[in-house]
Structure 1
Amino acid sequence: MKTITTTKDLAAFCAEAAKCSYVTVDTEFLRERTYYSKLCLVQLAYRDDGAEDAVLLDPLADDLSLEPLYDLFRDAGVVKVFHAARQDLEIFYVDVGVIPEPLFDTQVAAMVCGFGEQVGYETLVRKIAKADLDKSSRFTDWSRRPLTDAQKKYALADVTHLRDIYEYLSDRLGKSGRKKWVAEEMAVLKDPATYQANPDDAWKRVKTRTTSGKFLAIVRELARFRETYAQERNIPRNRVYKDDALVELASTKPQTEQDLGRSRLLLREARKGDIAQGILTSIKTGLAVKPEDMPKPDNDRAKLQVNPALADLLRVLLKAKTENEGVAQKLIANSADLDALAAGERDVPALKGWRREVFGNDALLLCEGQVALAVKGQKVVTVAL
């Protein structure tokens, strides 16, 4: 089990990997005590004319720069293969603004190939590579050195079996003509906006039961301050204050540190100092927002006049189509999308790209009363009216 700790050795490995059609990639990281993930290990593997190589990169080593790896990520001639890539890609994007291209996510590909919803790596290893994984090192501290042999074995398995999984899925997609489906799904993962946490939008993640504009204006300011504070100090946002405390503050609107001391949910550290002043300033700013500038909740879906019978028919159609095509249902549409269709909405993902071909066109015909559903043998089919 080779571990690379110098830039020279990494450059040599990447030069060999660049001669191959693809390279498999995985990472180990910590995020429990930081806002941004701390990269602790990178695993790489390739296969070239039967020859194989797999290594671990130690980004915590003093003599290692990851620039040769980033050059490989920029190499358009080598497919970069990940499983459930989003968190891995976020690390590299935040570090140097690099998003590997071209990109292949085996979790997405497996959903397209009918392996179920958000299928796990272990399941694909068992079903495709016909192997078992030792997951005993899954929750270890990857920042501690030296790494144990068990940790190294566990980490390498995340990229060695990935070679077989990628080759199997790629071949299956090629035969079914569905490579373009996966390519469309990769667009979201390759979009830098996917990895940018804008403090101005942080309030949208806070769940509240109140839709008052003034209340939401305070929530927006408190969430913005918390996000900015956490980013600048690289600490988890919940270490500043949790969502329930934020909602409590927006409701009680404390004006002084003494008022903050009466909070039931606010962390002790947040009742004084910089955080306390940030809270009080945020509340003051939120209270001063003009009515026309107050945030407005997205009530459009709540106001939809959903035809429940039609929504049920769309669910039957979706199940029939996905079973026939061998693709995961949630990859095409979720319950909210189906309800929106049944309410007359047309700006939904199910009516775009490959989803429209598989489901959307018939869904529209069903909504417009141009087709009906019927049972033919063991299948549900559409019948023109």
Structure 2
Amino acid sequence: MITITTTEGLAAFCDRARAHPYVTVDTEFLRERSYYSKLCLVQLAVPGEAEEDAVLLDPLAKGLSLEPLYDLMRDTSVVKVFHAARQDLEIFYIDGGVIPQPLFDTQVAAMVCGYGEQVGYETLVRKIARASLDKTSRFTDWSRRPLTDAQKVYALADVTHLRVIYEYLSDELDKTGRKGWVEEELSTLTDPETYIIRPEDAWERIKTRTNSGRFLAVVRELARFRETYAQERNIPRARVFKDDALLEIASTKPQSEEDLSRSRLLLREARRGEIADGILAAVKAGLAAPQKDWPVVDQSRDKLQVNPALADLLRVLLKAKSDASAVAQKLIATSAELDEIAAGEFDGPAFKGWRREVFGEDALRLCRGEVALAADGGRVKIIEL
């Protein structure tokens, strides 16, 4: 097993990789103790059976620059193949400012090829590569050195079997003419906005039971402070204070450190010093926000007039279309999207791109009363009215 620990060695592998149509990629990282993921290992493989065709890259090696890898990620002549790529791509974008292009995600491709919802890598290894994985090293500490032989074997398997899976799924997509469907789905993964977390928007992830504008203004400022503090110091946001403490503070609106000392949920170290100062300033800013600047919760979904009978029919239609096309149901339309359609909303994802062809057009006809559904043995068929 080859482990690359020098910039020169990395550059040499990347130069070799450019002679191939694709390279498979995976990463191992830690995030329990930091805001941003700490990249601990990169696995790379190109087509072939030689030892040098599948390598480990140690980003923690002293003096190593990842720039040759980032140059390879930018090279549009080589397809970059991942499985469930989102976290890997976030690391590359945050650390190197690069999003691999062109991209192929075998999890997305498998959903289009009939392997179910968010199919795991182990399942594809078993069903397509006809192999098995030893997962005992999955949750080990990848930042510790030296890596054990078991860790190395586990890590390499994540890119060697991926070659077989990629070639098989790519051929299937060519046969069915669905490669464009996968590319359409990957647009979110290749959009830098997917990986940018703005402190001013952090409040939207906080689950609250009230829509009070003034309360939400305080929640927004507390979430903004916490996100900024965590980003600047690269620590988990929960280490600053947790969501339940944030909501408690937004309710009690402390004005002093003495007030903070009465909190039931706030960590002891957050009741004084920089965090305490930040909390008190955030509460003050939230209370001072003018009404026109108060956050507003999107309640449009709560106001939907969903026709429950039609929603049930749409679910039957979706199941039938999913079975007929061998595409995962949730990839075609979510339960929430079906409710929106049943409420008369016809501008959602189901009516765009390949989804309209597979499901949206018939869903629209069903809503208009132009077709009906009937049982035909073990399947559902559409009847023209």
* TM-score normalised according to structure 2 size: 0.98
Q: Map 1:98-109 onto structure 2 (within 5 A).
A: 98-109=98-109
CA distance in 1, matches of 2:316, 2:207: 31
Give how far 1:377 is off: 3.1
Aligned residue type for 1:328: A
Q: Map 1:154-193 onto structure 2 (within 5 A).
A: 154-193=154-193
Q: Which runs of 5+ in 2 are unaligned?
A: none
Q: Contact (CA 8 Å) 1:24, 1:46: kept in 2 or not?
A: yes
Q: Map 1:31-110 onto structure 2 (within 5 A).
A: 31-47=31-47, 53-110=53-110
CA distance in 2, matches of 1:308, 1:231: 44
**Which residue of 2 is the match for residue 278 of structure 1?**
278
Aligned residue type for 1:337: E
Q: Contact (CA 8 Å) 2:2, 2:52: kept in 1 or not?
A: no
Q: Map 1:1-385 onto structure 2 (within 5 A).
A: 1-47=1-47, 53-385=53-385
Q: Contact (CA 8 Å) 1:45, 1:53: kept in 2 or not?
A: yes
Q: Contact (CA 8 Å) 1:46, 1:52: kept in 2 or not?
A: no
CA distance in 1, matches of 2:261, 2:52: 62
Give how far 1:255 is off: 0.8
Q: Contact (CA 8 Å) 2:214, 2:286: kept in 1 or not?
A: yes
The C-alpha deviation readout for 1:65-111, integer Å capped at 9, x for no partner, is 11111111111110000000000000010012100000000000001
The C-alpha deviation readout for 1:109-128, integer Å capped at 9, x for no partner, is 00111111111000100111
CA distance in 1, matches of 2:137, 2:108: 25
Give how far 1:344 is off: 1.0
Give how far 1:368 is off: 1.1
Q: Contact (CA 8 Å) 1:4, 1:55: kept in 2 or not?
A: yes
CA distance in 2, matches of 1:113, 1:52: 31
Give how far 1:334 is off: 1.0
The C-alpha deviation readout for 1:138-197, integer Å capped at 9, x for no partner, is 111100100000000000000000000000100001101100000001100000000000
CA distance in 2, matches of 1:44, 1:111: 24
CA distance in 1, matches of 2:114, 2:50: 29
The C-alpha deviation readout for 1:340-369, integer Å capped at 9, x for no partner, is 110011232111111111111111111111
CA distance in 2, matches of 1:123, 1:110: 10
Give how far 1:54 is off: 0.2
The C-alpha deviation readout for 1:232-257, integer Å capped at 9, x for no partner, is 00000010011111111111111111
CA distance in 2, matches of 1:52, 1:155: 15
* Secondary structure of the corresponding residue to residue 362 of structure 2: helix
CA distance in 2, matches of 1:235, 1:258: 26
Give how far 1:378 is off: 2.2
Aligned residue type for 2:176: S
* Secondary structure of the corresponding residue to residue 19 of structure 2: coil
CA distance in 2, matches of 1:377, 1:189: 40
* Secondary structure of the corresponding residue to residue 188 of structure 1: coil
Aligned length: 385
The C-alpha deviation readout for 1:314-336, integer Å capped at 9, x for no partner, is 00000000011001001111111
Cα RMSD over matched residues? 1.2
CA distance in 1, matches of 2:276, 2:368: 56
* Secondary structure of the corresponding residue to residue 188 of structure 2: helix
Moved more, 186-195 or 347-356: 347-356
CA distance in 2, matches of 1:84, 1:210: 35
CA distance in 1, matches of 2:381, 2:290: 54
Aligned residue type for 2:207: K
Aligned residue type for 2:133: L
CA distance in 2, matches of 1:239, 1:347: 41
Give how far 1:30 is off: 0.4
CA distance in 1, matches of 2:182, 2:52: 26
Aligned residue type for 1:43: Q
Identity of aligned residues (%): 75
The C-alpha deviation readout for 1:26-46, integer Å capped at 9, x for no partner, is 000000000000000000001
Q: Contact (CA 8 Å) 2:2, 2:51: kept in 1 or not?
A: no
Give how far 1:135 is off: 0.6
Aligned residue type for 1:94: I
Give how far 1:51 is off: 9.2
Q: Contact (CA 8 Å) 2:43, 2:155: kept in 1 or not?
A: yes
Aligned residue type for 1:188: T
Q: Which runs of 5+ in 1 are unaligned?
A: none
Q: Contact (CA 8 Å) 1:125, 1:161: kept in 2 or not?
A: yes
Give how far 1:49 is off: 9.5
